[in-house]
Amino acid sequence: MQQSVIELMQSMGHEQVMFCTDAATGLNAIIAVHNTVLGPSLGGTRLWNYASHTDAIVDALRLSRGMTYKSAISGLNLGGGKAVLIGDAQKLKNEAYWRRYGRFVDNLGGKYITAEDVNTSSKDMEYISMETKHVTGVPEYLGGSGDPSPVTAYGVYVGMKAACKKVYGNDSLSGKKVLVQGAGNVGRTLIDHIIEEGGKVILSDINETNIKKVTDKHSGVTVVAPSEIFNMEYDIYAPCALGATVNTDAINKMKCAIIAGAANNQLADENVHGPMLIEKGITYVPDFLINAGGIINISVEREGYNRARAIAIVDNIYGRTLENFEIASRDNIHNQLAAMRMAEKRISDIANLKRGL
Ligand code: NAD
């Protein structure tokens, strides 16, 4: 790492980062609180076997800042935070591990509220909830909202339709060819929505079981190898697997009109690839705007969960996506930058309000 942790925090605007270790359970955690102007920071706990501690720190810092943007642009009274736990999920996960982690979360006194993310489940949240009340995404039998993925998928579908409205003049997905990368929890529900509306799906995944779950249900889905996805023609690319798939090499090959998917940090480098997409004439729906359904669902859980209310708020992604396109075109900037400015404006407006300006 060229910069120290504090220099990185300063350059990205973080408020606080907590490092936690516990030899007895094997817990090694980094909890990053990016911004709490709008409310307590909320973001999932990711358990991952990082190649280095530096990779884990950078991931925690980037992901927590993304959560600030996501909640701010979605109109939620939440700040941004994220926790990353370092290690092998298969070996580490047990009750004591999660409860120890729950105590660390509790030490932050509500400044950080945790939730599910990669390699963490609502059952894990249940263990955490035995040590702290600052946890969401607990199972439905405990009054929680359960798996947020279907709501995230619905938000991606809504944002995809808004992009079609801009590009094609109407928002129907009927007859549109969509390449969905990743048939996971979000991708599978997104595919259901696309097919229900008469769209055609091309699917790519590395997991045969997940591919089969889709092809058993929808016989018309075409499956392609991951190496082939940018060598073919379709209207919409929906990244629902990994970050950074929108990179120089991929953009040079891309033949689609729209990118609209669930993955976080889709642009490998927003300063390079945001402008590159404009030059190529590809309409990109900013990731933290379109994939906010899950956090919206969780924010509703905090008020007393009501699925209809969550869906009604997620429907706002449509109008916000169109607003994002208008701001980007008015200010002659790329869509990701316009989305960041929309989020930053709301945070600074509310900060001024709180200061009585
Ligand atoms: P998931 O783990 O259930 O599914 C991911 C899928 O991607 C898996 O089927 C996996 O095999 C596949 N995959 C991995 N590498 C691949 C590759 N190289 N090519 C093709 N497929 C590949 O995850 P999910 O919950 O469906 O989330 C999908 C993405 O959306 C993730 O990036 C996640 O961070 C993001 N996201 C999810 C939510 C949510 O509510 N679940 C919310 C916001 C953002």
Task: Name the closest-CA residue to atom 1, ligand 1.
Answer: 184
Ligand 1 centre and the CA of 218: distance in Å? 20
- Residue 276 covered by a domain: yes
229 and 269 fall within a common domain: yes
**Residue 313 binned pLDDT confidence (cut-offs 50, 70, 90):** very high
Nearest-atom number in ligand 1 for the CA of 226 is: 19
Domain assignment of residue 47, given as a range: 5-61+80-142
Contact partners, residue 52, CB within 8 Å, separation at least 6 = none
Task: Please give the residue that has the higher pLDDT: either 153 or 121.
Answer: 153
The strand pairing partners of 177, in sequence order, are 200
**Residue 356 binned pLDDT confidence (cut-offs 50, 70, 90):** confident
pLDDT tens digits along 87-140? 999 999 999 999 999 999 999 999 999 998 889 988 999 999 999 999 998 888
- Residue 34 covered by a domain: yes
pLDDT value of residue 302: 85
Domain boundary among 116, 142, 168: 142
pLDDT value of residue 141: 82
| Dist. CA 70–CA 48, nearest whole Å | 22
Ligand 1 centre and the CA of 227: distance in Å? 17
Q: Which two tokens mark 235?
A: 């209207």
Ligand 1 centre and the CA of 186: distance in Å? 7
pLDDT value of residue 24: 98
DSSP 201: E
Supply the CATH number for residue 45's domain: 3.40.50.10860
Domain boundary among 94, 124, 142: 142
pLDDT tens digits along 218-263? 999 999 999 999 999 999 999 999 899 999 999 999 999 999 999 9
Give the count of domains, the chain: 2
Find where tokens 């995809």 sit.
160
90 and 167 fall within a common domain: no
pLDDT value of residue 241: 96
327 and 207 fall within a common domain: yes
- Residue 69 covered by a domain: no
162 and 311 fall within a common domain: yes
Indicate the pTM of the whole model: 0.94
Domain boundary among 113, 142, 171: 142
109 lines ligand 1 (CB under 6 A): no
46 and 174 fall within a common domain: no
209 and 334 fall within a common domain: yes
- A 10 A CB-CB count for 287 gives 28
116 and 163 fall within a common domain: no
Helix residue ranges per DSSP H, the chain: 5-12, 53-73, 89-92, 95-107, 122-128, 149-168, 185-196, 208-217, 248-253, 270-280, 287-290, 293-301, 307-314, 316-331, 335-354
Nearest-atom number in ligand 1 for the CA of 287 is: 44
pLDDT value of residue 286: 98
pLDDT value of residue 200: 98
Q: Are strands 16-22 and 283-284 parallel, antiparallel or unpaired?
A: unpaired
- Residue 75 covered by a domain: no
224 and 121 fall within a common domain: no
90 and 183 fall within a common domain: no
Sheet with strand 177-181: strands edge to edge = 222-223, 200-204, 177-181, 236-239, 258-259, 283-284
When pLDDT is averaged across residues 334-344 and rounded to a whole number, the result is 98
Over the chain, what is the mean pLDDT? Answer: 96
296 and 156 fall within a common domain: yes
Residue 1 has pLDDT above 70, yes or no: no
pLDDT tens digits along 10-64? 999 999 999 999 999 999 999 999 999 999 999 999 999 999 999 999 999 999 9
10 and 118 fall within a common domain: yes
Task: Name the closest-CA residue to atom 42, ligand 1.
Answer: 294
- Residue 287 covered by a domain: yes
